[in-house]
């Protein structure tokens, strides 16, 4: 007898419908086969399903069982077909009808319980879009999908729950564990002594989504500032969270911070490969830039990264997505992120240091700095020279440092102002303003354009440099809730320009 | 224009012909004249110039503007290149003495400087066209620098700087050696401070060079500026009292970061201060 069930398959982070046809036949030798381009884990599903059913006390039919995953020409992967296959067999064994408009998803354990399975969030969205009436999935996935409203989830702890649902329409109740929105193991801004300019620069960066390059000697506090940066990022908006959660649910670690609206903060090591950074693989898997979507990609020691890998960032930085073409398929992953980089000024780190000795030759220094190509530097808005703080500053700090929460509040207010202004243009923050919109969105008064003109000649800025300054000034104005860009905003923005004597 | 002058030519620098083993021929690119060789001052120093060195070069060379002095240097990066650049900027004649044939641009990154110099100044070399720089040719080049100059001024030098070789030749040829005193803790001032200890004249302002060249030279005085706002003035005074990082300034001036950075821009744009490597200096 043939049972038809519905499940899905993933292409990139999108779902497509897959029919799971389970045929239990009285004719032929007893066997259990899966067809329809299954990969290794789907083939192994036979062992899991068979053992799980037996361990649940369900008589596994000693018949010829054929499972077809349709469409047959689409390569499939993932362990989540276990539930649909098992459901097909259970319906055959107990002669229970499978409800109409139901989608099945979940990996089985050998004892018949359902394990947490990757990809429940995109599935939930897909089911909602396509108005499925029943969504069967593991109870362990409940936390991930709890923010998807108006969907009839049937959470299952084990195959027993499934059978009792079929028999008595009984649903188990889920107790959502309380998830706090707090990021684990981070450093609060208030615990960093001095560095007032650096902190201010980070605030501007977070508020306007501006990319940032920090340079300075080792031990000046660059990495420390970076970890504190994560704490002042604005919370994701609803739509941003959906995009990010899709990626993390399917490919990431089960990171509850992401599902509670925290912006991702990725910190790849400098030995990262092309495909590690951009995504890749036979069946394409996203890379670091996609995991940093709507968040931050922090490249510590950016000059140590392979310059090829760095140059590959140019296109995604511009377009906000990455298209990966492989033999089997082409996949598009979103990758809108704030590039946040840190570097030493030279291999030993002390070039330009007022007291410490730099042991690099000049050609070494040039080679080191040149790894940051012009086009990459061109895409960086803010340049920040981090100097090591004096001992006296560590000890006698008169200023009461602000906490991350205080800064984050200002950042979020400034973001809200931007989002209101940019809504009509489908943009999210000031850094995304295109040159053609600049005049309209960031008008300058006579006084401000005068100071900009003065700076243009004094610092020999490029036209792109001017555009950058205006956008940064707009963010600074937004932080102060000022409707117009004032002279002081331009003046502050000018301090974050690239000082070509150091880099580039 | 390019060509060659031999020791018998009238254009051949007189001072150079006096040294024990003057080069037979000098190859040149650019414009040569009798005058350009008559008042030569070598400005040499470390390849790894610090911001101190760059300030010294800028300030000294700007004071030479309008005088008949020619700035001679070795076209290397660091002090050499910035001496050439400052000379071009302030309209002071300059000669680059290369360790290779004058048709070779070495280092390559100075292509732009090379073109600028040959427009109205000169690049010279004792090596034939097409000669590639080698280790020994740098030291030999320094001999020519010392030879054509009345005096050698060392801006910054580390322990093993080539500028010290130039100073050695200058001493040998009985030329005056000047050195800029530097921070005793700075690696790039060890050589210059050592030169002063062993008899080089310390130079603090350009007027120290006056008697040697028989020209009255005066240091461009840094004008004390006053600013309308009390806060700006206070920040300016703090920067004037010595090198300071933006962070230190924020602490000592008790001004929050965001107002301080816009004050710094105002001071920078008015030309009162300069920032380099995260530190601020008064002009």
What integer pLDDT is reported at residue B221 of this predicted model? 64
Tokens of B194: 């050592």
Contacts of B266 in chain A (CB under 8 A): 491
Q: How close is the nearest chain B Cα to the Cα of A356, in Å?
A: 8
Q: Rounded mean pLDDT of A201-217?
A: 94
Cis amide linkage into residue A71, ω under 30° from 0: yes
Secondary structure in 3-state letters for A397-454: CCCCCCCHHHHHHHHHHHHHHHHHHHHHHCCCCHHHCCHHHHHHHCCCCHHHHHHHHH
Residue A105 has pLDDT above 80, yes or no: yes
Contact B265 A492 (CB under 8 A): yes
pLDDT at A43: 94
Q: Examine the pLDDT at A199 and tell me if it is beyond 80.
A: yes
pLDDT at A458: 85
- CA angle centred on A211, ends A208 and A217, rounded to 5°: 125
The pLDDT of residue B132: 94
Question: pLDDT band for position A183 (50/70/90)?
Answer: low
Arithmetic mean of pLDDT over chain B: 89
User: Which residue from B266, B268, B277 is facing A502, i.e. has the nearest CB?
Assistant: B277
Say which of A352, A458, A487 has its CB closest to residue B277.
Answer: A352
pLDDT, tens digit, for every residue of B59-110?
899 889 888 899 999 999 889 999 999 999 999 999 999 999 999 998 888 9
Running DSSP on this structure, what letter comes out for residue A76? B
Q: CB-side exposure of A173: number of CA atoms within 13 Å? A: 1
Cβ <8 Å between B254 and A398: yes
Give residue-wise pLDDT tens across range B111-169.
999 999 999 899 999 999 999 999 999 999 999 999 999 999 999 999 988 999 999 99
The answer to whether residue A178 scores a pLDDT higher than 90 is no
pLDDT for res A462: 85
CB contact under 8 A, A499 and B275: yes
Q: Determine, for residues B257 and A199 on separate chains, whether the beta-carbon distance falls below 8 Å.
A: yes
Q: What is the structure's pLDDT at A371?
A: 84
Give the range among A389-398, A491-500, B138-147 with minimum mean pLDDT: A389-398
User: CB within 8 A of B206, min separation 6: which ones?
Assistant: B60, B63, B64, B217, B218, B219
Average pLDDT over residues B23-39: 92
Cβ-contact A332, A322 below 8 angstroms: yes
* pLDDT of A281 over the 90 cut: no
**Residue B48 and residue A386: Cβ atoms within 8 Å?**
no
For residue A345, pLDDT beyond 80: yes
Distance (Å, rounded) from C-alpha A208 to C-alpha A202?
Answer: 10
pLDDT band at A504 (very low <50, low <70, confident <90, very high): very low
Mean pLDDT (whole number) for A274-285: 89
A→B interface, C-beta within 8 Å:
194-200, 216, 351-352, 354-355, 357-358, 361-362, 366, 385-387, 389-390, 393, 397-399, 451, 454-455, 458, 476, 487-492, 494-495, 499, 501-502
Question: Do residues A299 and A305 lie in contact, with contact meaning Cβ atoms separated by under 8 Å?
Answer: yes
Our CA-based measurement puts residue A395 at a distance from the nearest CA of chain B, in whole angstroms, of: 12
pLDDT average, residue stretch B165-190: 92
**Which among A494, A500, A502 is the top mutation candidate for probing chain B, defined by the most B β-carbons within 10 Å of its own β-carbon?**
A494
SS3 A122: helix
Of A13, A38, A20, nearest to A104 (Cα)? A20
Which chain A residues touch B268 with a CB distance below 8 Å? Answer: 458, 494
Q: What are phi and psi of A500, to 5 degrees?
A: -65, -15
Taking CB atoms and an 8 Å limit, are A387 and B246 in contact across chains? yes
B216 — pLDDT class (breaks 50, 70, 90): confident
Listed range (A40-54, A208-222, A362-376) with the worst mean pLDDT: A362-376
**Can you give the pLDDT at residue A214?**
93
Band of residue B283 on the pLDDT scale cut at 50, 70, 90: confident
CA angle A172, A173, A174 (to 5 degrees): 120
Contacts of A168 (CB under 8 A, 6+ apart): none
Q: Which range among A304-318, A349-363, B168-182, B255-269 shows the weakest confidence by mean pLDDT?
A: A349-363
Query: Under 8 Å CB-to-CB from A473, ≥6 apart: which residues?
Result: A442, A448, A485, A489, A490, A492, A493
Report the pLDDT value the prediction gives residue A259, as an integer from 0 to 100. 77
Q: Which pLDDT belongs to residue A182?
A: 56
Dihedrals φ, ψ of B69, to 5°? -80, 140
Of A361, A362, A455, the CB nearest to B269: A455
Chain segment A346-361, per-residue pLDDT in tens: 898 888 777 787 888 8
CA A165 vs CA A6, A159, A239, A268, A308: distances in Å: 17, 10, 33, 45, 55
CA distance A306 to chain B (A): 23
For B7, residues 6+ apart whose C-beta sits below 8 A from its C-beta are B17, B22, B23, B24, B25
A488 interaction partners in chain B (CB closer than 8 Å):
259, 262
Binning pLDDT at 50, 70 and 90, where does residue A157 land? very high
Q: Do A195 and B51 touch (CB under 8 A)?
A: no
SS3 string of A328-386?
A: CCEEEEECCEEEEEEECCCCCCCCCCCCCCCCCCHHHHHHHHHCCCHHHHHCCCEEEEC
pLDDT of residue A500: 57
Higher pLDDT, A426 or A182: A426
How many angstroms from the chain centroid is the CA of residue A212?
18
Cα dihedral B58/B64/B70/B71 (nearest 10):
-20
Per-residue pLDDT tens over the stretch A36-55: 999 999 999 999 999 999 99
Q: How many CB pairs under 8 A join A and B?
A: 88
Q: Average pLDDT of A116-125? A: 92
pLDDT at B223: 60
Q: Does residue A502 register a pLDDT over 50?
A: no
B224 pLDDT band (50/70/90 cuts)? low
CA distance B243 to chain A (A): 10
Tokens of A459: 């610092």
Q: What 8-state DSSP symbol labels residue B266?
A: H
| pLDDT for position A179 | 53
Could you give the 3-state DSSP secondary structure of residue A244? Answer: helix
Q: What is the dihedral of CA A425, A431, A432, A434, to 10 degrees?
A: 90
Give the separation between CA B215 and CA B65, rounded to whole angstroms: 12
HSE-up of residue B88 (Cα within 13 Å, Cβ side): 21
Cis bond upstream, residue B107 (ω within 30): yes
Kindly report the average pLDDT of chain A as a whole number: 89
State which residue of chain B sits closest to A367, comparing Cα positions. B109
DSSP track, B103-130: TS-SSGGGHHHHHHHHHHSEEEESSPTT
Give the confidence band of A503 by pLDDT, cuts at 50, 70, 90.
Answer: very low
Kindly state the average pLDDT of the residues B53-57: 88
What per-residue confidence (pLDDT) applies to A381? 93
Q: Is the ipTM of this complex over 0.90?
A: no
For the four alpha carbons of A95, A99, A100 and A104, in that order, the dihedral sign comes to negative
Q: What residues of B are in contact with residue A402 (Cβ under 8 Å)?
A: none
């Amino acid at each position: 007898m043939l049972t038809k069930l519905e499940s899905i398959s993933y292409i990139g982070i999108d779902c497509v419908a897959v029919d799971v046809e389970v045929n239990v036949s009285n004719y032929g030798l007893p066997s259990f086969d899966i067809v329809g381009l299954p990969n290794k884990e789907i083939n192994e599903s036979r062992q899991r399903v068979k053992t799980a059913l037996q361990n649940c006390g369900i008589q596994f039919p000693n018949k010829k069982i054929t499972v077809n995953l349709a469409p047959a020409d689409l390569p499939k992967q993932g362990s989540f077909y276990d539930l649909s296959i098992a459901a097909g067999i259970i319906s055959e064994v107990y002669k229970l009808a499978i409800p109409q408009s139901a989608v099945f998803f979940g990996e089985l354990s050998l004892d018949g319980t359902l394990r947490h399975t990757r990809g429940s969030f995109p599935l939930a969205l897909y089911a909602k879009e396509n108005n499925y009436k029943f969504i069967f999935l593991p109870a362990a996935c409940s936390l991930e999908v709890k923010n998807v409203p108006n969907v009839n989830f049937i959470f299952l702890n084990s195959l027993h729950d499934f059978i009792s649902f079929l028999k008595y329409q009984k649903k188990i109740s889920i107790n959502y564990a309380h998830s706090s929105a707090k990021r684990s193991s981070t450093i609060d801004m208030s615990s960093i002594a001095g560095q007032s300019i650096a902190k201010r620069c980070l605030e501007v960066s977070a508020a306007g989504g501006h990319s940032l390059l920090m340079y300075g000697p080792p031990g000046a506090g660059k990495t420390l500032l970076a970890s504190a940066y994560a704490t002042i990022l604005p919370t994701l908006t609803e739509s941003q969270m959906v995009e990010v959660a899709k990626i993390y649910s399917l490919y990431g670690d089960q990171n509850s911070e992401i599902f509670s609206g925290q912006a991702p903060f990725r910190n790849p090591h400098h030995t990262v490969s092309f495909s590690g950074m951009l995504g890749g693989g036979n069946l394409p898997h996203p890379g670091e830039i996609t995991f940093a979507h709507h968040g931050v990609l922090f490249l510590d020691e950016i000059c140590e990264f392979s310059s090829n890998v760095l140059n590959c960032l140019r296109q995604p930085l511009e377009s906000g997505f990455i298209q990966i073409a492989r033999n089997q398929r082409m996949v598009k992953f979103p990758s809108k992120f704030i590039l946040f980089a840190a570097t030493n000024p030279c291999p030993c780190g002390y070039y330009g240091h007022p007291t410490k000795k730099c042991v690099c030759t000049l050609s070494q220094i040039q080679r080191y700095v040149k790894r940051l190509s012009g086009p990459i530097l061109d895409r960086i808005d803010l340049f920040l020279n981090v100097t090591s703080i004096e001992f006296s500053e560590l000890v006698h700090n008169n200023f009461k440092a602000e906490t991350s929460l205080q800064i984050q509040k200002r950042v979020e207010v400034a973001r809200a102002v931007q989002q209101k202004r940019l809504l009509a243009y489908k943009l999210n923050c000031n850094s995304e303003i295109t040159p053609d919109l600049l005049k309209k969105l960031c008008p300058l008064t006579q006084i401000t354009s005068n100071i900009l003109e003065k700076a243009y000649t004094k610092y020999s800025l490029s036209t792109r440099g001017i555009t950058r300054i205006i956008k940064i000034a707009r963010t600074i104005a937004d932080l102060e809730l000022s409707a117009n860009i004032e002279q002081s905003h331009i003046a502050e923005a000018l301090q974050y320009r690239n000082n070509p004597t150091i880099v580039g | 224009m390019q060509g060659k002058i031999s020791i018998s030519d009238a254009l051949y620098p007189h001072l150079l012909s006096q040294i024990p083993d003057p080069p037979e021929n000098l190859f040149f690119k650019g414009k040569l004249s009798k005058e350009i060789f008559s008042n030569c001052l070598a400005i040499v120093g470390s390849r790894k110039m610090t911001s101190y060195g760059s300030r010294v070069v800028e300030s000294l060379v700007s004071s030479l503007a309008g005088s008949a002095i020619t700035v001679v240097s070795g076209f290397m990066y660091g002090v050499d290149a910035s001496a050439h650049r400052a000379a071009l900027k302030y309209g002071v004649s300059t000669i680059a003495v290369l360790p290779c044939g004058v048709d070779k641009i070495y280092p390559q990154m100075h292509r732009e400087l090379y073109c600028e110099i040959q427009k109205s100044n000169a690049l010279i070399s004792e090596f034939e066209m097409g000669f590639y720089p080698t280790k020994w040719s740098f030291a030999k080049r320094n001999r020519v620098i010392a030879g054509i100059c009345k005096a050698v001024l060392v801006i910054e030098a580390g322990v093993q700087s080539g500028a010290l070789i130039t100073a050695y030749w200058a001493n040998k040829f009985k030329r005056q050696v000047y050195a800029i005193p530097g921070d005793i803790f700075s690696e790039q001032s060890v050589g210059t401070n050592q030169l002063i200890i062993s008899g080089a004249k310390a130079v603090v302002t350009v007027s120290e060079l006056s008697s040697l060249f028989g020209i009255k030279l005066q240091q461009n005085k840094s004008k004390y500026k006053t600013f309308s706002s009390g806060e700006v003035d206070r920040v300016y005074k703090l920067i004037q009292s010595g090198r300071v990082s933006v962070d230190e300034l924020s602490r000592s001036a008790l001004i929050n970061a965001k107002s301080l950075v816009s004050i710094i821009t105002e001071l920078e744009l008015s030309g009162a201060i300069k920032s380099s490597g995260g530190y601020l200096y008064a002009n």
